[in-house]
């Protein structure tokens, strides 16, 4: 059964900026979804900010294996309620791939617990994305590095937690470096941040970038059943303990209390 | 110069529950502060939920090296504005020690990005806190394990990210285990979660537990200057690049724009 | 195509101890291979210390996706040359699953770089293996914990590096704890250490233990092509640099030197 | 009491290459020791390959808090016995700082368990060492980056395990990147790898590089008592278990056996 991927786009610059529209006539999220669908093992659709519930209903998220997130101009317009819903699905096991300026999205900042800040420059300079974890599933098929002719520079320090794995590190013509591919796990959900991508450059038309995204969808998918109770803090009553124990000492809670924690 | 530690307590059960008051006549936060002050290298004071700004003004936090956090019954009463202030100080370099039921505090959940859920049982059973990272500064002076005669069981799965280091793992009479001492780093701030502790047991009078807390204050302190710009995402103009580069391609931003990210 | 797994056994106690032979008439490695072969996606065979090259020729290792390692009485008899060969294959991408007393095998100690020491007791006590990373592929299908009626206790501190992931933590009747399921990555190879298992207990007949091993084989397999050059340190000549640069300064090496590093 | 640091140098090129001798009239290890001794909190001495026991007797290592390691041309001449001795002291808590071409030293490869390979080029190009973990103790006092005018390029992939922390990432004029400052913990010992440094460039005269090395000595020192039993695997007899248990089942070992593991 193919992996169900949803490419979420805020869909703002595609509507308001002619240059972006010319570069991405299918929109950016549409372009990415088409690239994913070249892989028979992936079934990708799109969702946007402007749809009801931003296109991310409970039902749709429950049927999504991996969500890709593009946002830039409208992070603040994403409703907190939907962000919390997405976060819960990640904890339950849905994969999440955060793209470029999505470093400042509500969902990424909530999952990281850090500012997710960085330096930037829009000069159309050259970027070289080095695969430093050469045997990683996400780095397959692209050789030792990806060359991107015109890019937006994203520079360190990138204020994120230490990753589970550093897959890519980027070199920039202007002299900076950036950890451009990082993996995390939060609850049962796998997260991949990938920095290349920008509205005014043809980066999502780049074959190597598309390959990375297809690889990442496969990597991020957790086939285990959803960990549905992950937000609960259940009480284990004394008479249900694995080992026989005797109730002792003072208590805050009476039998059957729901408990504070 | 001694380390400035602030022990924050929600101060609820101490006021409403006679058993807790009997056990902790100094309050829990007061008891912990007194234990820290036995170390000449630490200068500990207290703050509580009921004070203006919960006792955590900008000025006071700026002068705090390490904050210890006790909360249980009133997590929801802590104002979001103060939580955000504390989180920012952690990113800048303030150490944070989260105690027992603080696993469900707003500040810990925000820094972890996960549910921080667990299982629990209040049966007064025996807990043995094993030092598994024997050479770690936090584990010094307590031998191979701490014995706690009466404890609240906290059981796995503990829904937190993989830690930087697992310092302690606990065994419970009723058959469960728990990663009872975990370290994290978020921005420039070091975080230590320590699970032993409960209102109705004399755990914070335990000499070994007090030693762990003193050790943790020393470990959590980052003597570096505060990383004050950590939440900023500065633009590096093309003519300020470290290497000489030439502006190319399309741009979203005009010169001097503040930028979206 | 099924995953090619090889279960390596030192095959000593099966030959010298009647009790072990009665418990494992197929030998331990044979029992484990049979358990793996219940999964159509795995094709498991065995190899032993007594075979030429310990059954691990270059050719066989090159065709192996995942190696499982059982050793206890004869770690010292494993030839260094074969250990180095196995280590290189792990770096290139072969998965490795280290079983129980294999913590003290040459291959595990070399890959970890630490003593891999622990405490132990052979009292036939009860062990409860808690799945603490509940959404992990290796923990699927076994519920919240495995109960093992009679076990050898392995106790912390377990002198290994911080793992990539802690999947299982064990509770013992006698009062100890142990991180019983740990993952690592070394080069392109994934490593899983799993502590349950002992010659004189029927642990490898336990259905849950067998499920964990099948899961682990799937997890440890890296389908990427072997990273065959991982031990090389190639020179990149100045005229082959990605960016045009000019040779400057003094040099230790003349053009075409093989180099010291 | 000052930290006892020993700077170990293989002392080969200083004796055989006039250019190196001109650049480092004090030798490289002597230059580094002098830089460390500018800090009143450090007391640095040197040791070399040519001394008896390579200058690293049991007694001297026992009195050493932090060892710095420079080797390049003569890794193979370092005796295995001494390497094992150093490794044991690291496990017990001695800090280790591995310099530049020390990536291929026996001691570093043993502690990492990986090939520690990389790419290299000796073109005297420019290197920019970015502090990406800005609040880390090792990165204090050097600003956002170090500029090194002439360097040997070390390029990814660097075949080491995922580090505890990535402190520095380097940019090279020729187009490569490298994780130039990495931390690890093995047993009770802290390890820092720092790539800048080469015989034919004045890198160890660079004020910023010297500051990093002084910082690293402070960071790497573990003041805890040596973990002297870390290589032992003690038996815990049934009648000494923390909880009362009854001997059950078959056994491999008789009472008082030393045990296999």
pLDDT tens-place string over residues A120-153: 999 999 999 999 999 999 999 999 999 999 999 9
- Return the residue in B75, B76, B158, B159 with the most chain A beta carbons within 10 A, the one to mutate for interface testing: B159
Q: Which residues contact residue C25 at a Cβ distance below 8 angstroms, ignoring those fewer than 6 apart?
A: none
- Return the residue in B14, B105, B115 with the most chain A beta carbons within 10 A, the one to mutate for interface testing: B115
- Return the residue in A41, A135, A146 with the most chain C beta carbons within 10 A, the one to mutate for interface testing: A135
Q: Is the pLDDT of residue B261 over 70?
A: no
Chains in contact with C, where contact means 3 or more Cβ–Cβ distances below 8 Å, are: A, B, D
**Residues of chain A neighbouring B254 (CB-CB closer than 8 A):** none
pLDDT tens-place string over residues A24-54: 999 999 999 999 999 999 999 999 999 999 9
The top-level CATH class assigned to A3-220 is alpha beta
Token pair 């009553």: residue: A237
**Residues of chain B neighbouring C165 (CB-CB closer than 8 A):** 162
Topology of B3-116+177-220 in CATH? Rossmann fold (3.40.50)
Residue C23 sits at φ, ψ, to 5 deg, of -75, -35
**Interatomic CA distance for residues C66 and C7, integer angstroms:** 9
Phi-psi group of B13: left, alpha or beta (phi > 0 → left; psi -120 to 50 → alpha; rest → beta): alpha
CB-based contact, A241 to chain C, within 8 Å: no
Cβ contact, residue pair B130, C169, below 8 Å: no
Nearest CA in chain C to A134: C188
Q: Is the pLDDT of residue C84 over 70?
A: yes
**Residues of chain B neighbouring D227 (CB-CB closer than 8 A):** 134-135
Of A133, A134, A177, the CB nearest to D130: A177
Q: Hey, how many other C-beta atoms are within 10 angstroms of the C-beta on B202?
A: 15
**pLDDT for residue C58:** 98
Of A121, A247, A252, the CB nearest to B238: A121
CB-based contact, D16 to chain C, within 8 Å: no
**Interatomic CA distance for residues B159 and D21, integer angstroms:** 57
**Interatomic CA distance for residues B142 and B210, integer angstroms:** 10
CB-based contact, D142 to chain A, within 8 Å: no
**Residues of chain C neighbouring A129 (CB-CB closer than 8 A):** none
Q: Is the pLDDT of residue C255 over 80?
A: no
Cβ contact, residue pair B189, D242, below 8 Å: no
CB-based contact, C188 to chain A, within 8 Å: yes
pLDDT tens-place string over residues D38-56: 999 999 999 999 999 999 9
DSSP summary character for residue D63:
T
**Interatomic CA distance for residues A177 and C70, integer angstroms:** 44
**Domain spans in chain B, listed from the N-terminal domain onward:** 3-116+177-220
Q: Is the pLDDT of residue B58 over 80?
A: yes
pLDDT tens-place string over residues D215-247: 999 999 999 999 999 999 999 999 999 999 999
**Residues of chain B neighbouring D136 (CB-CB closer than 8 A):** 188, 224
pLDDT tens-place string over residues D65-81: 999 999 999 999 999 99
**Residues of chain A neighbouring D166 (CB-CB closer than 8 A):** 162, 166, 179
DSSP summary character for residue D244:
-
Cβ contact, residue pair D170, A177, below 8 Å: yes
Of D145, D187, D224, the CB nearest to B137: D224
Cβ contact, residue pair A174, B242, below 8 Å: yes
Q: Which residues contact residue D91 at a Cβ distance below 8 angstroms, ignoring those fewer than 6 apart?
A: C114, C115, C159, D186, D187, D188, D189, D227, D230, D231
pLDDT tens-place string over residues C18-71: 999 999 999 999 999 999 999 999 999 999 999 999 999 999 999 999 999 999
CB-based contact, C249 to chain D, within 8 Å: yes
Cβ contact, residue pair B157, C132, below 8 Å: yes
Region B98-111: mean pLDDT is 98
**Residues of chain D neighbouring A130 (CB-CB closer than 8 A):** 155-157, 176-177
Cβ contact, residue pair A156, D130, below 8 Å: yes
**Interatomic CA distance for residues D201 and D197, integer angstroms:** 7
Convert A115-148 into a string of H (helix), E (strand) and C (coil). CCCCEEEEEEEEEEEEECCCCCHHHCCCCCEEEE
Region C130-145: mean pLDDT is 97
**Residues of chain A neighbouring D175 (CB-CB closer than 8 A):** 128, 171
**pLDDT for residue A250:** 85
Rg (CA), chain D: 21
Cβ contact, residue pair C224, A189, below 8 Å: no
Q: How confident is the model at residue D109 (pLDDT cuts 50, 70, 90)?
A: very high
Cβ contact, residue pair D135, B242, below 8 Å: no
Count how many pairs of residues, chain A against chain B, have C-beta atoms within 8 Å.
200
CB-based contact, B140 to chain C, within 8 Å: no
Q: Is the pLDDT of residue D261 over 60?
A: no
Region A180-204: mean pLDDT is 96
**pLDDT for residue D147:** 97
Cβ within 8 Å of B, D 32-91: none
CB-based contact, B16 to chain A, within 8 Å: no
Concatenate the DSSP letters of all residues of B154-200 into one string. EES----PPPSEEEEEEEETTS-EEEEEEEEEETTEEEEEE----TT
CB-based contact, D144 to chain B, within 8 Å: no
Among D154, D204, D199, which residue's Cα sits nearest to residue D179? D154
Does the pTM of the predicted model rise above 0.95?
yes
């Amino acid at each position: 059964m193919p992996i169900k991927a949803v490419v979420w786009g805020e869909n703002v610059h595609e509507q308001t900026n002619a240059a972006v529209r010319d570069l991405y006539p299918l929109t950016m999220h549409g372009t990415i979804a088409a690239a994913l669908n070249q892989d028979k093992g992936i079934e990708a659709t799109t969702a946007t900010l402007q749809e009801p519930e931003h296109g991310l209903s409970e039902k749709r998220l429950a049927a999504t294996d991996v969500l890709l997130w593009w946002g830039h101009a409208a992070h603040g317009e994403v409703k907190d309620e939907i962000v919390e819903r997405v976060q819960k699905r990640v904890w339950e096991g849905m994969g999440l791939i955060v793209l470029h300026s999505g470093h400042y999205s509500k969902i990424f900042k909530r999952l990281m617990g850090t500012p997710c800040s960085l330096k930037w420059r829009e000069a159309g300079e050259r970027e070289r994305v080095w695969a430093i974890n050469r045997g990683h599933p996400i780095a397959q098929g692209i050789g030792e590095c990806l060359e991107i002719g015109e890019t937006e520079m994203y520079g360190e320090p990138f204020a994120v937690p230490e990753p589970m794995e550093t897959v890519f590190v980027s070199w920039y013509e202007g002299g900076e470096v950036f950890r451009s591919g990082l993996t995390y796990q939060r609850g049962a959900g796998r997260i991949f941040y990938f920095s290349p991508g920008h509205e005014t450059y043809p980066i999502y038309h780049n074959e190597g970038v598309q390959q990375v995204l297809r690889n990442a969808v496969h990597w991020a998918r957790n086939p285990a059943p959803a960990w549905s109770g992950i937000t609960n803090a259940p009480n284990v009553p004394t008479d249900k303990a694995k080992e026989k124990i005797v109730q002792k000492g003072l208590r805050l809670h009476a039998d059957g209390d729901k408990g504070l924690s």
